[in-house]
Structure 1
């Protein structure tokens, strides 16, 4: 989970003036909830229908604007889930932390949670910084096969200052980040060598973390402004899957005194030009479909928010509140899929999870999510037989674009040492989520089992690079342990510079 605080930007809109302070379901006095589905977003909200549709159009416009950072025909697949509450007071019900929006990561990609009225994003660019930052992370993983953390966060903060000008069909990228620029001028910045070691720093305090983010923004802005050709060559090498540090050294060979140059860039005053990039903003096309949400679905959303919103509430307290929401949802609709999935995941006893998953499949045999839950429950029970395999296969059949289902099937074959069966699913999961550390870990495992040691090592090295903040400690440890094992067997100097098979093709253009 990535929690973006106020110093990293504001979210969509200010208070709406509504007297309600809770995002309730209509049966409890709340406003009607709807789902607005556009080509690249699934938005669930208690905004009115017209505003929900406008919010979907604006997010599509934001996505289109961000794509111009890579130019060409770059248009990656996938749908981003978004939950939009009407105002910040409604969001405050779920957390005691002063946040203005956040993102969380699920098995099938990011979830953006924000507050606001959805009115024209282009009226105030500071209102869309969080959405732009998180969408940049999502999109950039399709463009850049490998990303050191300083580059990933630097690009995201560089692009979070995006300014949309639909009336002129233009988008402006890379304007000065006022907060970060002021921060580095007052408090200094981390050297590039320090940024290369960011991942090894572990958990940072808020002040130190802020300085790393500000420094990453500074270096990326400086490189785009002062060394654009070399910086583009660096990114194109990463697009081809080359090892980041080596790609950097080759792209910037012969450049002297970068530290002095960046110092002059920060403190040069009126004599320094800080350019931005203006690109065409193409019209957004695609149908937006609106459908009402049932009360049970609303309670399921509330339960998810209780469980995943940042804050100091204990797991026990969160679970107790979520259980109340789930109980009410069951009273509304005993077999609502979303609620049933939450109940399955919240059960601590594997046998209970399995029983509930089987009941869900019986009720909803055409639900890929139900089959996915059954497969995971069988796995938790230690079942490695045909029942789990069949459940994964059915989940993939019903949810072909599900990263979690594809990776689950691939992981089943990895655990049962049938790599030749799992490779296709692993490659599909990698195509859908090339920056997902868990997907890369599964893919590398299958390659290793197939005896493709050099490729397995390269994929696992890439998995380590994708361990950004919020990755569970258990996965982080597993990925590092596996890399150490592969290095011992394959040799650490055998790392390949080729793109892992299944990774996306490269694209012309770079910020």
Structure 2
């Protein structure tokens, strides 16, 4: 396309973006960025600032009150907090109080919750933060332990009267589930191979989580010193099975399963919080209130509408046949009338079913990139839109995106995978390694790093990293991703000579 026409398109975009015919959304959103969170919310500005401080406090309490590594995670979690649960249920299943989206339309994780249903005290938030913490220092652990530990920490509570956090309270929901399901096979949970555990979903996944929680809860309360020793050993990268055998003095899986089954029968159905302090191994955690710097900005109306469009498109917890696609289309149209170059709105438009058979709007994206030179998301869209037939242009867009956000694991991961699929192993390896350092709890990122190690003939390291990637796929990854990683892991274990590469 000639430069004159391209300039004309940019001019049209600029003119449309300033048209005054589209009303702004009635609700004002604010974005607040702290050390470990980026919050988008419709709360008033002062409440939004306080919400980020509380989330930072929750993360610090989990870190200091639990088994820990050397440092907090480097990757910031994007959180959408809506004041009303009703607003959350406009696009999500009414059964959900919050949800974790492991990959949004730009490959990044996002957690959505409401202030009415817990806010910073939300169980889902604490569960995912626990996974993020343990992903940094537990390189290899059995699936039941990794999941049970997160479930154990999700019950952390703040006691305002004493100004401290309590870790280790029993989970009433999981206890109730296990009592209703006396057929639960704890021995199977303990011995279930990782490649089977990662394929569990729905009710089976919740059952596995709940049984895993009780196993960890029992060990923390009845075999606490041995549990501490076990965690120290696997942190030192000892073989998990050998570490368990040594720490628990040869305790066999079937013996532990029997102990836990009997233990469940001894737990009271109702326990006063004061009694819980005496009956269980609760940890009291008092931390200095977080007082780090906060950056706040008002979110433009087009961005709010684009976010609504993305959430309606995702429709968490609903079958795809019931997804709110009509609402997503309306929100996209509004966002693009407000700002025709908005990258998230363009991404949702491209993701809608009617766009599946049409090529990406390349020239619109080029114009958006010219108008938004500091927005990495447009470069990611451009990398996608140019297609596989223009690998150098695709790589140039990914390099520009990585330069704009050098600490963004999703962008680095995309660049590393592009280089791997085009024979640039030595260029891919340091980029993939940095992405894995930023996001050690994300399966897709570790998969890329493992593949780079394999292609660099560092096969033993590749196997260890890919095993970790497979373990991390259990909770949120699609069945397709889990199967792809298992295929790659098998190839790495066979010697790394023929590790398959997916298309970009």
- Normalized against structure 1, the TM-score is what? 0.82
Structure 1 residues 165-204: aligned runs within 5 Å: 165=159, 168-188=162-182, 189-197=184-192, 199=194, 200=196, 202-204=199-201
After TM superposition, give the deviation of residue 97 of structure 1 in Å.
Answer: 3.7
User: Contact 1:47/1:117 (CA < 8 Å) preserved in 2?
Assistant: no
Structure 1 residues 358-397: aligned runs within 5 Å: 358-378=366-386, 380-384=387-391, 386-397=392-403
* Counterparts in 2 of 1:445 and 1:353: CA distance versus 1, 3 Å: farther
User: Contact 1:52/1:118 (CA < 8 Å) preserved in 2?
Assistant: no
Hey, what does 2:301 align to over in structure 1?
A: 295
After TM superposition, give the deviation of residue 128 of structure 1 in Å.
Answer: 2.3
Hey, what does 1:13 align to over in structure 2?
A: none
Q: What is the DSSP-based 3-state SS (H/G/I as helix, E as strand, rest coil) of the residue aligned with 1:143?
A: coil
Hey, what does 2:36 align to over in structure 1?
A: 40
User: Contact 1:413/1:422 (CA < 8 Å) preserved in 2?
Assistant: yes
User: Contact 1:410/1:426 (CA < 8 Å) preserved in 2?
Assistant: yes
After TM superposition, give the deviation of residue 181 of structure 1 in Å.
Answer: 2.4
Q: What is the DSSP-based 3-state SS (H/G/I as helix, E as strand, rest coil) of the residue aligned with 1:451?
A: coil
Is 1:322–2:328 an aligned residue pair?
Answer: yes
Counterpart Cα distance in 2 of 1:355 and 1:196: 54
Q: What is the DSSP-based 3-state SS (H/G/I as helix, E as strand, rest coil) of the residue aligned with 2:81?
A: strand
Counterpart Cα distance in 2 of 1:109 and 1:192: 36
Structure 1 residues 86-485: aligned runs within 5 Å: 86-106=83-103, 109-116=108-115, 128-165=122-159, 168-188=162-182, 189-197=184-192, 199=194, 200=196, 202-206=199-203, 208-255=204-251, 257-268=255-266, 273-312=279-318, 314=320, 318-346=324-352, 347-348=355-356, 351-378=359-386, 380-384=387-391, 386-485=392-491
Counterpart Cα distance in 2 of 1:277 and 1:403: 33
- Return 5+ residue gaps in structure 1 as ranges: 1-25, 122-126, 492-511
After TM superposition, give the deviation of residue 254 of structure 1 in Å.
Answer: 2.2
User: Contact 2:32/2:295 (CA < 8 Å) preserved in 1?
Assistant: yes
* 2:73 aligns with one of 66, 70, 76: 76
Counterpart Cα distance in 1 of 2:319 and 2:175: 34
Counterpart Cα distance in 1 of 2:163 and 2:126: 18
After TM superposition, give the deviation of residue 261 of structure 1 in Å.
Answer: 2.8
After TM superposition, give the deviation of residue 74 of structure 1 in Å.
Answer: 3.0
* Counterparts in 2 of 1:317 and 1:193: CA distance versus 1, 3 Å: closer
Counterpart Cα distance in 1 of 2:382 and 2:357: 14
User: Contact 2:412/2:432 (CA < 8 Å) preserved in 1?
Assistant: yes
Is 1:59–2:55 an aligned residue pair?
Answer: yes
Q: What is the DSSP-based 3-state SS (H/G/I as helix, E as strand, rest coil) of the residue aligned with 2:420?
A: helix
Q: What is the DSSP-based 3-state SS (H/G/I as helix, E as strand, rest coil) of the residue aligned with 2:494?
A: helix
User: Contact 2:189/2:212 (CA < 8 Å) preserved in 1?
Assistant: no
* Counterparts in 2 of 1:415 and 1:490: CA distance versus 1, 3 Å: closer
User: Contact 2:189/2:208 (CA < 8 Å) preserved in 1?
Assistant: no
- Return 5+ residue gaps in structure 2 as ranges: 1-21, 269-274, 498-504
User: Contact 1:64/1:282 (CA < 8 Å) preserved in 2?
Assistant: no
User: Contact 1:145/1:435 (CA < 8 Å) preserved in 2?
Assistant: no
Counterpart Cα distance in 1 of 2:455 and 2:69: 38
Counterpart Cα distance in 2 of 1:43 and 1:118: 16
The 10-residue stretch of structure 1 (33-42 or 160-169) with the greater mean CA deviation from structure 2? 160-169
* Counterparts in 2 of 1:307 and 1:406: CA distance versus 1, 3 Å: same
* Counterparts in 2 of 1:168 and 1:420: CA distance versus 1, 3 Å: same
RMSD (Å) for aligned C-alpha atoms = 2.8
Counterpart Cα distance in 2 of 1:292 and 1:401: 23
* 1:308-349 deviation per Cα after TM superposition (whole angstroms, max 9, x unaligned): 232435369544331211111111122223323333454425
- Normalized against structure 2, the TM-score is what? 0.83
